[in-house]
Amino acid sequence: MSKLRVAVLGAKGRIGSEAVRAVEAADDMELVAALGRGDDLGALTESGAHVAVELTTPDSVMDNLDFCVRHGIHAVVGTTGWTDERLATLRGLLDASPETGVLIAPNFSLGAVLTMRFAQLAAPYFESVEVVELHHPKKVDAPSGTATRTAQLIAAARAEAGCAPQPDATATALPGARGADVDGVPVHAVRLRGLLAHQEVLLGGEGETLTLRHDSLHHSSFMPGILLGCRRVVSAPGLTFGLEHFLDVG
Ligand SMILES: NC(=O)C1=CN([C@@H]2O[C@H](COP(=O)(O)OP(=O)(O)OC[C@H]3O[C@@H](n4cnc5c(N)ncnc54)[C@H](O)[C@@H]3O)[C@@H](O)[C@H]2O)C=CC1
Ligand SMILES: O=C(O)C1=N[C@H](C(=O)O)C[C@H](O)C1
């Protein structure tokens, strides 16, 4: 059987360099291009890439996806910075290239995907929910894409269940003390030397709390999800948001 031809964008970065090794080690894949900032995207078409793994920066991802989708190259995207406006732009590109698939995964690790699912399930049953994400200090965006997505899923689950707004008597606060407000869910971002990628979802009810915690201790935690994304995106035209759609975690 012919191998899946995979390119990595952001190939010298922290996760991109790990993805290069993972693709090289996969029996059913061939690494056909490994591009860094400033490299010519023409290498993607010249190398005949079927899938581009996009692991760059929020300021680069849209131009890279514009190129990929216009050339019918499927994409597996881990880069953060997704806004409604960016998603609408991407959907417009995909409408013009209906056979192309793009997977955006706020987090490729199985544990993080499950944490989001568990948080969604638990959120309607507790009065209070807050998200704390903790990352290495070289991370350029806050809150993390994972925490933002987690909070959005929590808020949607609570809205659907008709939950009341969260109790919070705060009358005075230093700016930022109560975190960022993501659809009514407070999200707090910690940056600490020694950490990689971690998240806690704190849920509180009458006389009890529940804490969901996930820790990515090494970039290898993201690799099975990236490889799965590459294998599945080629037969999933359009936009898929969240790795859970390629996993049976319902
Ligand atoms: N979805 C997930 O599971 C994960 C997502 N990430 C996200 O992936 C992104 C990258 O994270 P890190 O590797 O830690 O950052 P990094 O800064 O180590 O790597 C980014 C790399 O992309 C390169 N780059 C920038 N523009 C480029 C372009 N136009 N073409 C090719 N290369 C370009 C940079 O020079 C750098 O080498 C971030 O948005 C991060 O949040 C990181 C880990 C897991
Ligand atoms: O920058 C990182 O490191 C990570 N970024 C993603 C995010 O913002 O959620 C995924 C993971 O947390 C690692």
Q: Which residue is closest in CA terms to ligand 2's atom 12?
A: 197
- 158 and 84 in a common domain: no
Residue 76 Cα to ligand 1 midpoint, Å, equals: 13
Q: What does the CA dihedral 3, 8, 14, 19 come to, rounded to 10 degrees? A: -10
Residue 56 Cα to ligand 1 midpoint, Å, equals: 3
| pTM assigned to the model | 0.97
Of 170, 153, 173, the C-alpha closest to 161 is 153
Number of structural domains the chain divides into: 2
Check residue 38 and report its DSSP letter: T
Residue 234 and residue 50 in contact, taking contact as beta carbons nearer than 8 Å: yes
How far apart are alpha carbons 197 and 101 in whole angstroms?
27
The answer for residues whose C-beta is within 8 angstroms of residue 34's C-beta and 6 or more apart is 7, 8, 11, 20
Residue 80, annotated ligand binder? yes
- 212 and 227 in a common domain: no
Q: What is the ipTM of this complex?
A: 0.99
Residue 81 Cα to ligand 1 midpoint, Å, equals: 11
14's enclosing H/E stretch is helix 14-25
- Ligand 2 close to Cβ of residue 8 (< 6 A): no
Q: Tell me the residue range of the domain where 15 lies.
A: 4-104+220-246
How far apart are alpha carbons 142 and 120 in whole angstroms?
21
Check residue 217 and report its DSSP letter: -
- 142 and 213 in a common domain: yes
pLDDT the model gives residue 215: 98
Burial of 207 (0-12, 13-18, 19+ CB in 10 A): exposed
- 212 and 115 in a common domain: yes
Of 246, 187, 209, 188, the C-alpha closest to 122 is 209
- 225 and 205 in a common domain: no
pLDDT the model gives residue 249: 78
- 185 and 97 in a common domain: no
- 164 and 90 in a common domain: no
pLDDT the model gives residue 89: 98
Pairing outcome for strands 51-54 and 4-9: parallel
- Ligand 2 close to Cβ of residue 106 (< 6 A): yes
Radius of gyration, CA atoms only, the chain: 19
pLDDT the model gives residue 250: 65
The answer for residues whose C-beta is within 8 angstroms of residue 125's C-beta and 6 or more apart is 203, 205
- Ligand 2 close to Cβ of residue 80 (< 6 A): yes
- 143 and 73 in a common domain: no
Check residue 165 and report its DSSP letter: P
pLDDT the model gives residue 46: 98
Looking at ligand 2, which atom is closest to the CA of residue 139? Answer: 1
pLDDT the model gives residue 164: 96
Largest distance between two CA atoms of the chain? 64
Q: For every one of its 250 residues, what pLDDT tens digit does the chain have, with 9 covering 90 and above?
A: 799 999 999 999 999 999 999 999 999 999 999 999 999 999 999 999 999 999 999 999 999 999 999 999 999 999 999 999 999 999 999 999 999 999 999 999 999 999 999 999 999 999 999 999 999 999 999 999 999 999 999 999 999 999 999 999 999 999 999 999 999 999 999 999 999 999 999 999 999 999 999 999 999 999 999 999 999 999 999 999 999 999 977 6
Q: CATH code at 118?
A: 3.30.360.10
- 137 and 187 in a common domain: yes
Q: Encoding tokens for residue 56?
A: 């760059």
How far apart are alpha carbons 52 and 9 in whole angstroms?
7
- 224 and 207 in a common domain: no
- 226 and 210 in a common domain: no
How far apart are alpha carbons 141 and 128 in whole angstroms?
25
- 99 and 158 in a common domain: no
| Strands of the 185-191 sheet, one edge to the other | 180-182, 185-191, 128-135, 197-205, 208-216
How far apart are alpha carbons 32 and 52 in whole angstroms?
10
Q: Cα 182 vs. chain centroid, distance in angstroms?
A: 16
Task: For ligand 1, pick from 39, 55, 196, 228 the residue to mutate: most ligand atoms within 8 Å of CB.
Answer: 55
Residue 179 Cα to ligand 1 midpoint, Å, equals: 25
